[in-house]
Structure 1
């Protein structure tokens, strides 16, 4: 139980950091296969271990919620005081994960050009359709709770839940590009305020997360079994493009910002390479 909770906390922290994949964290911690088995087992007609599967999923999800909420506070501080450096830390986490992805998930597989280009095109397309969304927006105001907002939060949760199981893909990175990351982070950071305009959207995000996990388990299982090289090449395209579109070109730079941003980028790389050694 303790191992599952700790693993869930690590996955939750990974999912709140743009560029870090919760799925990859599961692989590193050795709970990825068990997670996939548990999700499949819950929906099997004849499963003598359904209670154990449900208990395992609850333990991991509770741990993930603790990691998400706890680390959101730290990111709140970083974005308040070091927004540009924090963005370069994220970029370092993404860029340095590329060689690990090639040596790990892509080992023995040839890169397929068309899926790779599709992955690149999706991220660049999102950036083109949402100009300026990569800029830092600290502590956005909470919008009025409406039906449209609740439906949008379900979609945000689906993205977070789906990418939680997909090695190499960061849900927070996708939310950052489409412009929903900072609101999502602020909801998590302020959950202890018990405001209805925070709790209600978070409940709908939770519904989306559950739907996203189920959907991702089905989709990943299908494509990995039938089109492994192409599917992994597509994910590689997402990762490469993500390291480029998050560069804060509109930030104000001086010598100290440049040096500190470079150090932050290197620090992100050190973290990723350290996780690679652990794996």
Structure 2
């Protein structure tokens, strides 16, 4: 139970950061296939493990909610004072998970070149379209409550939920490209105020997230069963490209920054290694 909640927290944190994928975090934690099976199992007519599947999903979702809400401000502090080292920490998490993914998920499967290249192109394309996050300003003046706002929040939630499952595709980056990321972060930053104009839109977004997760999980499980080598090769391309596009090339490096960034990468690798031992 505790391990699933902690894993959910890591997934939630990943989903807040543009460029970092919650699905990639599932791969790192070794629960990607378990989550796909659990979501699919809930809707099966005959499933003797339905209760266990529901409990597993709820534990991960509780952890994800804690990660998204509870760590949003901590991450803002890290990015304010240690932005480069924080990015390299996530690069370490992703990069060191790649050999584990190949060993555990792709064992016995040959690399399919075209899906692999497609995965690279998708992430590089999103990065090319990404306007850059810049400095996030939390705006307390939220849109007036309306049916159009609720529909928009459900669509945003569906996109976030679908990309939350897919490794290598960052839901926050997609929202950033669509111009809705700042509104999303503003709602999250003010959720503890329990204002109606914050809680209601987030409620509709939660509905969209649930729908997006279910649809995405169904698609992932279908392609895993029918086109396993191609689908896993696509995921591998997504994950590898995710570690590359995060590299901050626009930073002025000195000896101190290089050393601390290297430590951050190794720290990310140590976390992946420790988590792999827990599986």
Q: Please report the TM-score for the alignment, with normalisation by the length of structure 2.
A: 0.79
- CA 1:236–1:48 in 2, change beyond 3 Å: closer, same or farther? closer
Residue 95 of structure 1: CA displacement?
1.5
Partners of 2:161 and 2:194 lie apart in 1 by 23
Q: Answer yes or no: is the 8 Å Cα contact 1:123–1:242 preserved in 2.
A: yes
Greater displacement, 151-160 / 41-50: 41-50
Greater displacement, 256-265 / 202-211: 256-265
- CA 1:114–1:102 in 2, change beyond 3 Å: closer, same or farther? same
- CA 1:193–1:275 in 2, change beyond 3 Å: closer, same or farther? same
- CA 1:192–1:25 in 2, change beyond 3 Å: closer, same or farther? farther
Q: Answer yes or no: is the 8 Å Cα contact 2:123–2:169 preserved in 1.
A: no
Residue 108 of structure 1: CA displacement?
1.2
Residue 88 of structure 1: CA displacement?
1.5
- Match in the other structure for 1:27: 30
Structure 1: segments with no counterpart, 5+ residues: none
Partners of 2:176 and 2:237 lie apart in 1 by 15
SS at the partner of 1:96? helix
- Match in the other structure for 2:135: 137
Residue 9 of structure 1: CA displacement?
4.4
Q: Answer yes or no: is the 8 Å Cα contact 2:163–2:170 preserved in 1.
A: yes
Partners of 2:185 and 2:3 lie apart in 1 by 21
Cα RMSD (Å): 3.2
Greater displacement, 212-221 / 250-259: 250-259
The answer to whether the aligner puts 1:244 opposite 2:247 as a matched pair is: no
The answer to whether the aligner puts 1:233 opposite 2:233 as a matched pair is: yes
Note the 1:11-26 alignment, pairs <5 A.
11-17=8-14, 18-19=20-21, 21-24=24-27
The answer to whether the aligner puts 1:122 opposite 2:122 as a matched pair is: yes
Greater displacement, 250-259 / 240-249: 250-259
Greater displacement, 233-242 / 142-151: 142-151
- CA 1:55–1:271 in 2, change beyond 3 Å: closer, same or farther? closer
Residue 255 of structure 1: CA displacement?
3.4
Structure 2: segments with no counterpart, 5+ residues: 15-19
- Match in the other structure for 1:102: 102
- Match in the other structure for 1:8: 5
Q: Answer yes or no: is the 8 Å Cα contact 1:69–1:188 preserved in 2.
A: yes
Residue 190 of structure 1: CA displacement?
3.2
- CA 1:221–1:252 in 2, change beyond 3 Å: closer, same or farther? same
Q: Answer yes or no: is the 8 Å Cα contact 2:158–2:210 preserved in 1.
A: yes
Residue 56 of structure 1: CA displacement?
5.4
SS at the partner of 1:107? coil
